[in-house]
Chain A
Amino acid sequence: MKRSPIVTVVAIGIGAALFFVLGRFVSIPSPVPNTNIALQYGLLAFMAALFGPVAGLLIGLIGHALIDFSYGWGVWWSWVIASGVFGCLVGLVSSKLKLADGEFEKKDILRFNLFQICGHIIAWGLIAPVLDIVMYAEPANKVFLQGLVGGVSNIVTTAIVGTLLCIAYAASRPRSGSLKEEK
């Protein structure tokens, strides 16, 4: 299905707003004290799988930068970029899925999760720590551990929340070819 570029522009805007609201105001306590579960990555993976890599990249970048701006602690560019990269990588799966046509089978679930796990590993295990070292000259073992903790918790969140969102959205769409001619 071909989508008008305007839909992508709007999806980026609304997606970034959703990312912001989930990341800034919604806190679900996690087992580790004083850390919250980052629901926004489940949402980001879903939006990217639906609207493609460009939308994923920009939702991650804009949403994360707005969160940082609203806290006022300065924009932590390395992590903002990592969010964008994650969105972009998950977006690559969009051409293989037909979410908008209501299709999300078992193999699609596997495919979606494969992409999100790879995306998280690259974003938090590689991009964020390396940028932290290059930009802020922080010690390597600290940033890699931070990336590891963030990455693993994000993978779990995305696997549950992202997959459930995809299933629910696909179920709400009329399947293509679901109508039959009556004879």
Chain B
Amino acid sequence: MTNIFNYIDRPSPIHRLTGATKLICLLLWSFAAMSTYDTRLLVLLVVLSLLLFRISKIRIADVRFMLGFTAVFMLLNNLLVFLFSPQHGVELYGTRHVLFSLGGNYVITKEQLFYHLNLFLKYLASIPVVLLFVCTTNPSEFAASLNRIGVKYSIAYSVALALRYIPDIQREYHEISQAQQARGIEMSKKESLFRRLKSASAILIPLILSSMDRIEVISNAMELRCFGKNKKRSWYMARPFTKWDWLAMSGSLLLLIAAFALNILNGSRFWSPFL
């Protein structure tokens, strides 16, 4: 329960990078994967991200649970795209190579299949990197990294507070929910939707009121310690950059530049083998 973000402490070159580096790389990388539909670059990103996964010593077994979620999400999304817009690929690529027809508007074209392939590659290119970030970054270091990349420290501190209090609030929710269920509230399918929402509120109200008290206590404690008095603050978990950090960041930056360069060279975000 305490390790909801699945941080896995295992010595590896990826773990040794500072949190700020990993956060910057994650942002650059996902931006690169998001902006391009060039299959060649996407394949490169997929290969690189799998390689990084190997280096990080995170095993598939460690992330099986999260991968399951992702796979379902990915399939569902692809299915929805096809159901709603079976000719989306044709519109995007401007050519039409019919393979066979399923009846009605549902004609399978090479373009559509190629578009779905690209969607899959986009997921494959970005998901391992997110998993890597989550598994190799200590949550305590995360807030320090946010501040390092230029987020105001009061906001970074809010994130740190959120991470610190998630387990507490989770426990409290559980206790209140069991107490209220013992008194007879029902939240399952047996009740009507309106009653379900009302009983949810019966749990939420004590939870929110106690959280309001919590806010008061914490902010008083912070005020007594002069939080926010200075323009800067130091972080216990902050570490200095090493040459590996710079290397990782410039590598990710290069990938992003490559993505932009290809977008310009191709004339659009899409690269089509059909022309």
Contacts and interface: CB of A to CB of B under 8 A. Distances in A.
Contacts, number: 192
Interface in A39-89: 39, 42-43, 46, 58, 62-63, 66, 69-75, 77
A135 B194 CA distance: 36
Contacts of B73: 71, 73
A160 interface: yes
B84 A21 contact: no
B100 to A, nearest CB: 21
B226 to A, nearest CB: 10
Contacts of B215: 7, 10-11, 14
B201 A73 contact: no
A160 B211 CA distance: 20
Interface string A121-142: 0000000000000011111111
Interface stretch (B13-21, B202-210, B246-254): B202-210
A69 B5 contact: yes
A37 interface: yes
A74 B269 CA distance: 21
A131 B126 CA distance: 18
A37 B131 CA distance: 26
Contacts of B212: 169
A113 to B, nearest CB: 15
Interface in A13-46: 13-14, 16-18, 20-22, 24-26, 28-31, 37, 39, 42-43, 46
A20 B6 contact: no
Interface in B178-210: 187-189, 193-194, 196-198, 200-201, 204-205, 207-209
Contacts of B165: 13-14, 17
> Interface residues of A: mostly helix, strand, loop or mixed?
helix
Given A14-B165, A20-B166, A25-B170, A42 B204 contact: yes
B228 interface: yes
A101 to B, nearest CB: 14
Nearest to A55: B158
A161 B154 CA distance: 29
A141 B85 contact: yes
B160 interface: yes
A165 B130 contact: no
A168 B205 contact: yes
Given A70-B134, A137-B270, 4 more contacts: A13-B159, A42-B201, A62-B159, A72-B69
13 contacts: A10-B161, A10-B222, A11-B219, A12-B155, A18-B169, A21-B173, A42-B204, A66-B163, A72-B66, A74-B70, A74-B126, A161-B204, A169-B209
Task: Rank and list the top 7 A-B pairs by shortest CB-CB distance, nearest first.
Answer: A13-B161, A139-B85, A72-B66, A142-B84, A16-B162, A12-B158, A73-B70
